[in-house]
């Protein structure tokens, strides 16, 4: 990673003003574009961690992103269904395990799982992770 010198906004403007007799110099569109680029780069460097953290929080809490990740996980696990949107709606509506009827809790062994047949890929039930593991074994 190369070390780039970080310029202040004043230095960028001073650099643009260099060699100018009059402070009312008219800048070309290219000079203004370069100055804006430099200011944006400095802002990004100064706020990189904050911006990245904000983006991650938005991504992990966005309901549409959660749905896309969940459907992607199901496909990767070999679950086959004619309409994943309907399956996801069903999945979201269920709040208790189909076997033990315990309410789901995402912080312990009662997380919600979509049980499926490993040969055909067809979904069977929505179970807590404890019942899902017991059914597999």
- 103 and 57 both lie in a single domain: no
Host domain of residue 41: 9-18+27-61
The reported pLDDT for the residue numbered 10 is 67
68 lies in a domain?
A: no
Q: Please write down the HEC assignment for all residues of the chain.
A: CCCCCCCCHHHHHHHHHCCCCCCCCCCCHHHHHHHHHHHHHHHHHHHHHHHHHHHHHHHHHCHHHHHHHHHHHHHHCCCCCCCHHHHHHHHHHCCECCCCCCECCCCCCCCEEEEECCCCCCEEEEEEHHHHHHHHC
Q: How confident is the model at residue 3 (pLDDT cuts 50, 70, 90)?
A: low
- 97 and 127 both lie in a single domain: yes
35 lies in a domain?
A: yes
70 lies in a domain?
A: no
Structural domains counted in the chain: 2
1 lies in a domain?
A: no
- 87 and 119 both lie in a single domain: yes
- Write down the pTM of the prediction: 0.60
Q: What is the pLDDT of residues 11-63, one digit of tens each?
A: 666 666 665 555 556 678 888 888 889 888 888 889 999 989 988 998 889 99
């Amino acid at each position: 990673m190369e070390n780039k010198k970080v310029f202040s906004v004043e230095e960028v403007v001073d650099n643009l003003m260099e060699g100018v007799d009059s402070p009312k110099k008219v800048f070309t569109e290219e000079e203004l574009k370069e100055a804006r680029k430099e200011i944006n780069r400095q802002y990004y460097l100064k706020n990189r961690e904050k911006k990245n953290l904000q983006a991650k929080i938005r991504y992990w809490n966005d309901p549409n992103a959660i749905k896309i990740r969940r459907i992607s996980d199901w496909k990767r696990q070999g679950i086959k269904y004619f309409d994943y949107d309907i399956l996801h709606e069903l999945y979201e509506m269920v709040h208790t395990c189909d076997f033990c009827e315990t309410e789901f809790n995402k912080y312990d062994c009662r997380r919600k799982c979509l049980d499926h047949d490993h040969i055909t890929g067809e979904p069977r039930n929505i179970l807590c992770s404890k019942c899902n593991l017991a059914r597999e074994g």
